[in-house]
């Protein structure tokens, strides 16, 4: 199944659920902050004659927006599926060591994903505790690393991560702070000359959202 068909199927399912009694539909938007501290990776090119040292310089704030449903499960528990488009940007510091000299560059990559979390929650008055799995569907990427002619990207179509956090409901407004953990190593899409690389840790994010239910 392609990512487009997967997303359309999910949206259709959420739309069908939203027609049921007591199920609420909402929209949300917010910011995310990447929490990652990784070691640099060394990349040998042209049979070892050239060498790149790639380090994470900065992980900028990301933005996201999407839709959500809230399904009550009795008085205390709830189920909340969402479809959220998010965009993130990172900067790499690249030291290019080659026979003609050494140059240092700061290069940027942008990523777009559609995140599809399925969260189980418990309400305690206006406070919610939420946790659950999340499917991350890769949509697109733009990278300054393509200035190196042997650079390629090998993204998985779908990644699995997990979410947990706390929320606050005030009338129809909802505020959320969540922590997202990823099972894959950060940068595992980086490929030079058919050799795949990755940093030594996973990418984790803090996600801050404001939403409204109708």
Which residue ranges make up each domain of the chain? 3-213
| Residues 89-103: tens digit of each pLDDT | 988 888 887 666 678
Average pLDDT over residues 25-36: 91
| Residues 156-197: tens digit of each pLDDT | 888 889 999 999 999 999 999 999 998 888 888 888 887 888
Q: Is residue 1 over pLDDT 70?
A: no
User: Quick one: DSSP state of residue 120?
Assistant: E
- For 98, other C-beta atoms within 10 Å of its C-beta total 13
Where is 17: in which H helix or E strand?
helix 3-18
Band (pLDDT 50/70/90 cuts) for residue 213 is: very high
Residues in the chain: 214
- For 211, other C-beta atoms within 10 Å of its C-beta total 22
Average pLDDT over residues 77-97: 91
Instruction: Pick the range with the lowest mean pLDDT from 14-28, 66-80, 129-143, 199-213.
Output: 14-28
What CA–CA distance (Å, rounded) separates 25 from 16? 11
First to last CA, the chain: 32
Residue 27 has a pLDDT of: 97
Q: How far is CA 37 from CA 34, 45, 67, 211, in A?
A: 10, 25, 31, 30
Average pLDDT over residues 52-67: 88
- For 132, other C-beta atoms within 10 Å of its C-beta total 16
Considering only the C-alpha atoms of the chain, give the largest distance between any 2 of them, rounded to a whole number of Å: 70
Average pLDDT over residues 22-32: 93
CA pseudo-torsion sign 24, 29, 35, 38 = positive
Query: Would you state the structure tokens that stand for residue 123, as one six-digit string?
Result: 């309400």
In this prediction the pTM is 0.82
Among the ranges 20-29, 84-93, 182-191, which has the highest mean pLDDT value?
84-93
Band (pLDDT 50/70/90 cuts) for residue 2 is: low
Residue 208 has a pLDDT of: 97
What CA–CA distance (Å, rounded) separates 106 from 93? 5
What CA–CA distance (Å, rounded) separates 120 from 106? 41
Residue 19 has a pLDDT of: 54
Beta-bridge partner residues of 163: 132, 180
Which residues have CB under 8 Å from 12's CB, separation 6+? none
Average pLDDT value over all residues in the chain: 85
Band (pLDDT 50/70/90 cuts) for residue 15 is: low
Classify domain 3-213 by CATH number.
2.40.160.20
Q: Is residue 5 over pLDDT 70?
A: no
Residue 105 has a pLDDT of: 86
What CA–CA distance (Å, rounded) separates 155 from 137? 10
Q: How far is CA 159 from CA 42, 50, 84, 112, in A?
A: 25, 32, 14, 13
């Amino acid at each position: 199944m392609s990512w487009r068909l997967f997303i359309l199927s999910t949206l259709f399912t959420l739309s069908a659920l939203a027609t049921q009694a007591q199920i609420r539909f909402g929209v949300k938007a917010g910011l995310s902050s990447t929490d990652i501290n990784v070691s640099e990776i060394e990349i040998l090119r042209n049979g070892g004659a050239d060498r790149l040292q790639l380090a994470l310089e900065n992980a900028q704030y990301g933005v996201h927006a999407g839709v959500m449903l809230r399904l009550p499960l009795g008085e205390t528990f709830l189920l909340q599926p969402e479809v959220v488009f998010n965009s993130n940007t990172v900067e790499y510091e690249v030291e290019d060591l080659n026979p003609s000299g050494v140059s240092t560059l700061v290069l940027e990559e942008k990523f777009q994903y559609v995140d599809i979390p399925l969260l189980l929650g418990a309400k305690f008055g206006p406070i919610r505790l939420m946790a659950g799995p999340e499917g991350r569907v890769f949509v697109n990427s733009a990278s300054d690393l393509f200035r190196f002619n042997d650079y390629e990207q090998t993204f998985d179509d779908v990644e699995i991560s997990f979410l947990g956090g706390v929320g606050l409901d005030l009338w129809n407004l909802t505020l959320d702070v969540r922590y997202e953990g990823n099972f894959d190593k950060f940068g595992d899409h980086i490929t030079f000359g058919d050799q795949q690389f990755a940093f030594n840790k996973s990418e984790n994010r803090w996600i801050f959202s404001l939403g409204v239910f109708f």
